[in-house]
A and B are shown apart, each in its own frame.
Chain A
Amino acid sequence: MARALINVPAKAKRGEIVEVKVLISHPMETGFRMGPDGKFIQREILKSFACTYDGEAVFSADLHPAMSANPFFAFNMVASQSGVVTFSWTDDKDQTQVQTAKIDVE
């Protein structure tokens, strides 16, 4: 299962615009490369990534074979209330991984 580095500020002021950054460990193997044996290496990519904040969608993306290994996402959201930010990403085999972070809003 892929490891990820998730960065959400632990504290924020109400209404503040905060930056969220996510770096996911994943080979993003395109399926177009050949291995040393001359055979194509099986495609293995993340297909989608999404982020919700207290249940509400704040960011989502579809991913494709030409994207780099270890995809990195950075986006902004408005810190409206204390709550849980949930990140999920789904691979070619439709396996979804979920990770969460807490944000305290004063």
Chain B
Amino acid sequence: MSWRARGLALALLGLAGAVGARADIPAGERKSGALFMSKQTQAMQADDTANPGMLAAAEGEGLWNASPAPGGKSCAQCHGAAETAMKGVAARYPAVHEASGRVVDLDGRINVCRQEKQNASPLARESRELLALSAYVGLQSRGLAVAPPDDARLAAARERGRALWETRMGQLNFSCAQCHDDNWGKHLGSAPIPQAHANAYPIYRLEWQGMGSLQRRLRNCMSGVRGEPFALGSPEFIDLEAFLAARAQGMPVETPGVRP
């Protein structure tokens, strides 16, 4: 059951009183979302033989080595072993795709290779295959620091992302910042409000009984305040992702995370 189902409006009245001056979370006080989970869920994430996200990563490994269509090249045929070729890649995304000048997230980047290098159709966002590939590519950055590139084109995306972060949304009229910067550590119903660091995606969420991307998580937060969520893959989400990456700079990547 989710906090949305439990009279969120009432719970939020309590938070509203606490909304004061806005401030970013100081670097020394940043905490991964994993630390807000029960000991059991933390143990599930930490144990590769129990973490269901590792099933997705294993499936991604299979896709990495498979050719997408007869005659098409596999990811491995061009990139070689993912352990070396993809090391640190997920930690840098979103990033600028030089050929197009566009800011893309990791899922978008994988689809660039699908379309341009494999002559295959792009994988749908939240599809099993794309989540498997992003979990596998993400796993190769596990333990490395989130390292968003220093690039002016990205800075613009981050600024737009920050503006969205601070914008009140939905019928309940809350901004992301009001929950995640100003009220983290408090509870919405039974759910603790985490700081919203995006260092463990894609995740296996127990409530979903499956894998999901960061954008799926963000859609949940937007519908939680009874807003109309942005579309998967929309520029707004890429901007928010770019902002979240900068906000989590230096935190270790935990992909694939487990969340309640």
Residues of chain A having any CB pair with chain B under 8 Å? 3-5, 7, 21, 23, 25, 27-28, 68-70, 72, 74
The smallest C-beta distance from B202 to any residue of chain A, in angstroms, reads 15
B59 and A23: CB pair below 8 A? no
A25 touching B209 in the complex, CB below 8 Å, given contacts A5-B54, A7-B49, A74-B50: no
Count contacts between A and B, CB distance < 8 Å: 33
Q: Ordered nearest first, which 7 A-B pairs have the shortest CB separation?
A: A69-B209, A7-B49, A25-B55, A70-B52, A21-B49, A72-B50, A5-B54
Interface residues on B, range: 10 to 19
Complex interface: chain B residues within 8 A of A74 (CB): 50
Complex interface: chain B residues within 8 A of A28 (CB): 209
Query: Is B206 an interface residue, CB under 8 A from the partner?
Result: yes
Most chain A CB within 10 A, of B52, B54, B59, is at B52
Residues of chain B having any CB pair with chain A under 8 Å? 48-50, 52, 54-55, 58-59, 206, 209-210
A68 nearest in chain B by CB position:
B209
The smallest C-beta distance from B108 to any residue of chain A, in angstroms, reads 26
Interface majority SS (helix, strand, loop, mixed), chain B: loop
In Å, the complex CA distance between A40 and B21 comes to: 49
B62 nearest in chain A by CB position:
A3
In Å, the complex CA distance between A74 and B51 comes to: 13
In Å, the complex CA distance between A4 and B206 comes to: 18
B55 nearest in chain A by CB position:
A25
B209 nearest in chain A by CB position:
A69
Complex interface: chain A residues within 8 A of B210 (CB): 69
In Å, the complex CA distance between A80 and B48 comes to: 26
